[in-house]
Every structure is written in structure tokens, then in C-alpha cells.
Chains A and B, each alone.
Chain A
């Protein structure tokens, strides 16, 4: 019987065809290839819905799918570890959910692009739509990958598309530079990822994510003391330490792609790209690739408590760090960029503290509300004739109500206000960190505290943005008379706004605990799947290997959940309230001077860019100068020395060729005599 799984390759290939069509035929098509992209992503979306329904069991029994499609390098016989490098599909609850998110956002972004790019009379549209198509295809390929190497390849393709689309306006000065920065910074992380992939192959001889022979399963067996002989650890480390090293290497790619500290600097600059691109790539999907990768191989990470602690701490720190920078920004997209970094910090915090479901949940809700906010910002930017400075806006509420109400829904979700989707997911993230922290992992409590503090800043910068943009009196002529937007902008906004409001209802943990109803749908969803890839298995692993256990405050789990939710909601409301009192006035003024010297630090992003430029210019250049000296002096010196010896001796020895035949005869004779003497000495003639 033909089922949804037979069409899964088409989910990836359809956007790829739209890439080819837009690239080669786009200039002959009426909308510059937009229709091909919309059709392809719509097709992928429908197929993804069918896939999700199949996985959920609406078409019979709940089922998952793993299939190797193509072996492009066979096992090498005779070597100790015969590797097989393959392309394959892995469809389980996690990847099918991600397929749905990616195709939905990609489809809406394609539609929105009609308004943002076509209606604004941009040139180079075939290139733009080709980039979007290739990006969608690569991201979907990454999502369905069943092994780490395939995931890595699509991970790189995604990075390439990001580079192409950030630098879309390549004739201006800033975008190409931002594109290069994004490419280089993420590539720096991917370098470690590549070594990690090689290390996984060297250790396990396979990079498959799922099944009995997959590398998380082998790692678990090795740590449990069964079949440890199948695992080669390097450098004489014991399996636990070596797995930590491998996990950290792969984490390098995650930190780069998901814009975690210290490799977050590329993301704010990436806002130079077209706004739909920012929505699709730098908020909803590509940046999610890093988090998704950790979730995908969570069975491996759950075995190494050190890695988990680092993930949690980096995540918590990034959440707070980025949120404070978002507080002072003037451009609407910059605020959103820092909030993106901050929100991915939350997801990492959840993953590191054993909250696999919480991270996946926040990944989903964030994809919806952040895509919504970016597209809303795009709508505002269209209206403002591509002026992004919030201090030039104001009062847009009455002139563009659709954008205002949808943007407000997204903002409430981002700030984590009850009952919007962000509240449920962020609350669960913090809850997981708190209970596991109380259960005997004090480091998680520190990460939790940073995440909790970031909630306040999130509420503040979100509503500062809303009030400055939409409330008060218009501060410029453009804001008094904004450019209108059409259905192709409002439609995607409306769809995403609905999702941003309701997406949280699939997993209302506090309500479920309070009422005892079975409404934790996401828990059930992620609890089934191939053995070894279920959330229950993961929680066993974190409990057994990382000693994560649940600790509670007063009132048991219910009380803790309610207290945690109330505290984070209170902080979010406090932040929003502060923003309300400062900025929701007819003529708001900048209050940043009150921050004193902290203001400069925040405006300059904690001097992270300067620090990295210093690293590159002074440190790296100094080291390379030293390396150059060593190369020129020692390596080249030895080679040149040897060659100069033969040159010199050659120039001396050649002088015996005088051209005088008598000299040659004399040399021949001398040679003969010498030979005779030697032979004589050896033969004992003279004794």
C-alpha cells in the first residue's frame, strides 16, 4: 500500500525543484519564481501534514519510518571499522513535527515575500526565490536525516543558503559583510562539528541516529558495560570522558548555528538580509537546526552529565545575556534578533536540564511566534518605507490594525504572558530546570536563575518595542501616513497569530497537574516512537547517567509547577509594566541615559564584536605571524639549507670539467690507480 512515507523524499525534493525552476526559469515567470516556490512549499506542507497524521496513527496504527535510501560509500572490507556512508530517512514524532513547522513557516514566508519583495519592486527576484527554495530543501533534508553525516551535509547547505540570502542586496555595503560574518562564525562552529562527526565514526563505526546499532545505543551499551569492545575510544580516555569530548565537539556546530554565546555575534548582523529571510532562517528554522540536532541525538547527550551541564549553563547565560542587549536597541529587527538569541538560550537550557519535551515545545511555539513577529516587523518596515528605527515610528496602531493585533499576539507569546503559547513553553523550560536543579544539581539552579531573570528583560524589551512602534503619537511624516500592505502580508500574519495564541494549548502542564486531565498532548506525542528515541527513554538516561532527579518546593510537583509559573508570569508582567510606564506615553523619550555607563556597554553588545575583532586581529594574527616565522625559518630553512649544500657543491665540483681532454685522461688514470689500490688493499696484495 502506498502510504505517506513513500512521499517523504518529495517533501525535500519539491522545494529543490522550485530552486531549480526559480534559478533557471525565474526570469521568464510572472512573479520571478515566487509561484513555483509557493506551490512547492504548499505541496511539502500537505505531505508533511499527511506524514504527521500517519505517525500519529490516524491512518491505522501509529508508526514510524526509517529507511536507507542510498549508500554512497560502501563498507571498506579489511579495515577494522567498515563504515557505510548513506543517505536515509528517519521519520519519528520529533522529525515529523519539525517537518510540519518548517514547511508551514516556509510556505507562509513565500507568500509574505510576494508582499515584501515583489510588491516593493525588488530586482533579482529569481535569485531570491531560488535561495528560499534551496534553503527549504536543505532544512527539510536536515530534519529527515537518519545519520549524523547526512545531517552535517545539510547543515552546511543551510549555512550556505543563509550566506546567499543575507547578502541578497550585495550592491550595498553592509549585507555582504554581514553575510561573510555569518558564514565565517557559523563555520567556525561547524569545524568542531566536522571533527565530531569523524570522531563519532571513529568511535562507533556508524553515525545512525536510531536503531540498535545507532551510536547513542552503542554508547549506552558501552557505559552500561555491555559490548564495550565495539567502541574505540581515542587518546586512552575512558568511554565516559571520551563521549563528553565527542559531545562537546558536535556541540560546537550547535553553538554556532543556534547563535549561543560566544558565537552569537553573527545573528544580529544577519538582520541585513530581507525581512522574510530573517523570519524563515534567522528565527524560525535554521537557527533551530542546532537545537534540533541536540534533540535528535539526545540519547547520546543524556549519557554525559558534563555536556548537559555545559549546555544548560551556556543556554541560561545566553538567555540573560542576549535579553539585556535587546533592551537598548533602536531598530525593530535588532530587538527581535536579540530576543531570538535569548529564546534559543532557553531551549538549550531546557535540553541541558533534561527537559527534552520542554525544549521541543519551546522550539515549536517559538517558531510560530517569532516568525509572526518578524513578518509583523516586515509589515511595519514596508509601511515605513524601509526605515527600521523605532524612534521614527509611533502610533501605527490605528493605521495598520491587522499588523498591530497580530504583532501584539506574538509579543504576548514572546513575553510569556498567560495564556499565550510562549507562556506554556517557557514556563515548562523553567520548571524543568528548577525541579532538576532542586533534585541535586545546583549548577542547574544557577542556569535557572539566569533564565528566570531573563524573563523580566524579555517582557520589558518586547513591550518597549510594541509601545514605541504602535503606541503614542506618530513621530515622523512616514509614520503619520504609512504605506499600506496587502492580503499577502496580512494572510500569513493572521495564520501565525492564531498559532501563536493556541499552540501552547497542546501541552498545558500546570493545568494538567491541577485538574488531572490528560491534556499533555506533546508528552504523549514524543513518548511514542522507535525504542531509544522516546522521551521516556531520555528521562531514564538523564536519571541514570546524569543523576537528574526531581526535587520540589512546597506542595509537591503541582505546587512547584504553580509557583514556577506564577513567578515567571509575575516577572514578565513586571517587565511589561515597566515598559508600559516608561514608553506608553504620547511622546516617549529615551531612558537609556539612566543606565549610566551600562548603556554604552549594552549598545556595544558587551564589546563582543570588538573582542572578536581583537581575537582575530591581534591574537590570531600574532600567532600566525609566529607560525609564519617558524615556517620560513625552520621548515623552509631546512629545505633551503639542504638545497644550498647541493648547489654549492655542484658549483664547485663542475669545475673539474675543464674541456681539456688530457685532464680527463689524467682523472681516468687516477681513478684506475685508486681503484687498484683499494682492490689491492682489500685483496691483501701488499701484505
Chain B
């Protein structure tokens, strides 16, 4: 059996990639993808610990997370569409009118 440390390292790596994407990308679609990566890093942790402890609760929870992620993507794409309509672009830094 693969030790859980590997899963944790994988999840941490994927999380960092997602975080890097969020911090550096300006394209809203890439932004959304990065968020998905971070969510899935969490899913990996859930499943890994579920297997490690022999308890299926973690896997059940990850199923919920996926459904949630799907809904989130639907809303995210809706926001991106609106962004494109209003600013003619999908650059997140353009929409900066809600500031002090």
C-alpha cells in the first residue's frame, strides 16, 4: 500500500500549482481552473485519509465536494460571461471598479 505521505505531497503540490495560478494569471478561465486544482488537492487528501483509516466518510465527502465544484464552475462561467459582456475581455484585473 502506498504510504499516505505520497498522497499528501501530491495534494500539496497540486494545491501550490493552483495557488500559483491564482496569484499570477489574469485570464478568468485560467483563474477558475486554478481554483478547481486547489479543490481537487483537498479531495485527494480526503480520499487518502479515508483509505488510510478504512473509513468511507472521507470518500463520501469528496463526492459532495465534486458536486459542489461542478456547481461552482457553472456559477464561475456565468460570472466570466458577464465579465466578457461588460468589459469585452476576460481579464480579472479590468473589473476593478468596486474599490475604495
Q: Does B1 make an interface contact (CB < 8 A)?
A: no
Asked if residues A662 and B100 are in contact (CB atoms below 8 Å), the reply is no
Partner of A661, one of B19, B92, B100: B92
Closest residue on chain B to residue A654 by CB atoms: B100
CA distance A508 to B99 in the complex (A): 98
Residues 86 to 100 of chain B near chain A (Cβ within 8 Å): 92-93, 95-100
A452 to B96, CA, bound (A): 96
Distance to closest chain A CB from B80 (angstroms): 12
Judging by beta carbons under 8 Å apart, are A662 and B26 in contact?
A: yes
Residues of A with C-beta under 8 A to B22: 662, 665
Give residues of chain A (644-661) contacting chain B, Cβ–Cβ below 8 Å: 654-655, 657-661
B23 touches A (CB below 8 Å): yes
Alpha-carbon separation in the docked complex, A157 to B31 (Å): 81
Interface residues on chain A, size class:
10 to 19
Complex Cα distance A662/B28, Å?
11
Whether A669 and B19, one on each chain, are in contact in the complex, defined by CB atoms closer than 8 angstroms, is yes
Which parts of B47-100 form the interface with A (CB within 8 Å)? Answer: 92-93, 95-100
Query: Which residues does chain A contribute within 8 Å of B92, judged by CB atoms?
Result: 660-662
Q: If the complex has contacts A662-B92, A662-B93, A669-B19, are A657 and B99 also in contact, measured as CB distance less than 8 A?
A: yes
Min CB–CB distance A368 → chain B (angstroms): 84
A657 touches B100 (CB 8 A): yes
Contact A662 B23 (CB under 8 A): yes
For A662, the chain B residues whose CB sits under 8 A away are 22-23, 26, 92-93
Chain B 19-38 per-residue mask, 1 if CB under 8 angstroms from chain A, else 0: 10011001000010000000
The reply on A666 being an interface residue by CB < 8 A is yes
Q: Is the CB of A655 within 8 A of B100?
A: yes
- Smallest Cβ distance from B20 to chain A, in angstroms? 10
Q: How far is the CB of A556 from chain B (nearest CB, A)?
A: 100
Q: Say which residue of B19, B31, B96 sits within 8 Å of A659 (CB atoms).
A: B96
Kindly supply a per-residue 1/0 record for chain A positions 643-687, scoring 1 wherever the CB is within 8 Å of any chain B CB and 0 otherwise.
Answer: 000000000001101111110011001000000000000000000
Q: How far apart sit A166 and B54, CA to CA, in the bound complex (Å)? A: 101
A665 near B98 with CB under 8 A, answer no
Which residue on chain B has the smallest CB distance to residue A655?
A: B100
A220 to chain B, nearest CB (A): 75
A666 to B19, CA, bound (A): 9
- How many Å lie between the Cα of A158 and that of B57 in the bound state? 87
A666 touches B23 (CB 8 A): yes
Given the complex, which residues of A lie within 8 Å of B31, measured CB to CB?
661
Task: Give A662 to B71 CA distance when docked, in angstroms.
Answer: 22
Q: With A and B bound together, what is the CA distance between A587 and B28 in angstroms?
A: 116
Please give me the residue from chain A that is nearest to B31 by CB atom.
A661
Closest to B99 in A: A659
A660 touches B96 (CB 8 A): yes
How far apart sit A603 and B92, CA to CA, in the bound complex (Å)? 92
B19 contacts which chain A residues (CB < 8 A)? 669
Q: What is the bound-complex CA distance between A669 and B23, given in angstroms?
A: 9
Task: Give the Cβ gap from A424 to chain B, nearest Cβ, in Å.
Answer: 91
Residue of A nearest to B25 (CB): A662
In the assembled complex, the Cα of A159 lies from the Cα of B9 at a distance in Å of 92
B26 and A659 contact, CB distance less than 8 A: no
Residues 347-367 of A, flagged 1 when their CB comes within 8 A of B and 0 if not, give: 000000000000000000000
CB distance from A223 to the nearest CB of B (A): 73
Kindly list chain A residues whose C-beta atoms are within 8 Å of the C-beta of B26.
Answer: 662
Q: How far apart sit A666 and B23, CA to CA, in the bound complex (Å)?
A: 6
A658 to B99, CA, bound (A): 5
In the complex formed, the residue of B with least CB distance to A657 is B100
Which chain B residue has the least Cβ–Cβ distance from A656? Answer: B100
User: Please, how many angstroms separate the alpha-carbon atoms of A659 and B99 in the complex?
Assistant: 4
- In the bound complex, residues from chain B placing their C-beta under 8 Å from that of A654 are 100
Report A-chain residues with C-beta under 8 Å of the C-beta of B95: 659, 661
Chain A residue nearest to B97 in the complex (CB)? A659
Smallest CB separation, B65 vs chain A (Å):
19
Q: In the assembled complex, how far is the CB of residue B4 from the closest CB belonging to chain A, in whole angstroms?
A: 19
Nearest residue, chain B, Cβ from A668: B22
CB nearest neighbor in B for A665: B22
CB-CB < 8 A to B93: which residues of A?
660-662
Q: Which residue of A lies closest to B100 (CB)?
A: A654
A661 to B28, CA, bound (A): 10
| A580, chain B: closest CB distance, angstroms | 95
Q: Which residue on chain B has the smallest CB distance to residue A666?
A: B23
Closest Cβ of chain B to A670, distance in Å, is 10
Q: List B contacts of A666 (CB < 8 A).
A: 23
Q: In the complex, what distance in Å separates the CA atom of A20 from the CA atom of B22?
A: 85
In the bound assembly, the distance between CA atoms of A347 and B96 in angstroms comes to 88
Chain B residue numbers with a CB within 8 Å of A658 are: 96, 99-100
**Which of chain B's residues have a CB closer than 8 A to the CB of A661?**
31, 92-93, 95
Looking across the interface, which residue of chain B has its beta carbon closest to that of A651? B100
- Minimum CB–CB distance for A212 against chain B, Å: 76
Question: What are the residues of chain B within 8 A of A657 when measuring CB–CB?
Answer: 99-100
Most-contacted residue by chain B among A657, A665, A666 (CB, 10 A): A665
B-contact bits for A617-654, CB 8 A (1 contact / 0 none): 00000000000000000000000000000000000001
Distance between B16 CB and nearest chain A CB, rounded to angstroms: 11
CA–CA, A662 to B25, complex, Å? 8
Q: How far is the CB of A605 from chain B (nearest CB, A)?
A: 69
Q: How far is the CA of A655 from the CA of B99 in the complex (A)?
A: 8
Find B98's partner among A655, A659, A669 (CB 8 Å cutoff): A659
Closest to B96 in A: A659
Minimum C-beta distance from B92 to chain A (A): 5
Complex alpha-carbon distance, A684 and B66, angstroms: 35
- 18 A–B contacts, CB within 8 A, in A order: A657-B99, A657-B100, A658-B96, A658-B99, A658-B100, A659-B95, A659-B96, A659-B98, A659-B99, A660-B92, A660-B96, A660-B99, A661-B93, A662-B26, A662-B93, A665-B22, A666-B23, A669-B23
Q: Which residues of B contact A (CB under 8 A)?
A: 19, 22-23, 26, 31, 92-93, 95-100
Taking A659-B98, A662-B92 as given, write out 17 further A-B residue pairs in contact, using a Cβ cutoff of 8 Å, ordered by the A residue number: A657-B100, A658-B96, A658-B99, A659-B95, A659-B96, A659-B99, A660-B92, A660-B93, A660-B96, A660-B99, A661-B31, A661-B95, A662-B22, A662-B93, A665-B23, A669-B19, A669-B23
The 8 closest A-B pairs by CB, nearest first: A659-B99, A659-B96, A654-B100, A665-B22, A657-B100, A661-B92, A660-B96, A659-B98
